[in-house]
Amino acid sequence: MSDATMSDQTMSTAVSEQLKPNGPVAAAMLAAGIGCFVLGLMTTLAEASEDVANALRLIPAVGPLSGKVVVGTLAFALSWLVAGLVLRGKNVRFAPFFAATLVLVALGFLLTFPPFFMLFAPAE
């Protein structure tokens, strides 16, 4: 076997070892965005509705924050599980997942921003 053939085989093996499916990474990233959005949504809904705020009071000393965090974390975990199973072993275009994650995180931040969620508070 010539040196060129050995080199080609070594390079081919090295490249194939480096190319792992990026679907699971895209799934985790998207799930993080979903978790951020759901946390923000729960924050705004708890401010807008006393019934929602009471339902989110899982630990009385903590108040609705305990439920907001639990719901957001469950949304992250469940969406990661589902997306991870759907995208397992697949190579996907990363840009749409990255863009969706950025939008979801931005919306989540907006929904947890007091001047925004106070717009939905009942008048006192």
4 residue type, one letter: A
Average pLDDT of the residues of the chain:
89
pLDDT classification of 123: cutoffs 50, 70, 90? confident
When pLDDT is averaged across residues 99-106 and rounded to a whole number, the result is: 98
> Rounded to two decimals, what is the model's pTM?
0.82
Tokens of residue 65, six digits: 């924050």
Please state the domain extents for the chain: 22-120
Q: What angle do CA 60, 107, 22 make, to 5 degrees?
A: 105
Looking at residue 71, its pLDDT comes to: 97
**Tens of pLDDT, residues 46-60:** 999 999 999 999 999
Tokens of residue 56, six digits: 């989110």
Q: CA 52, 54, 56, 57: dihedral to nearest 10 degrees?
A: 170
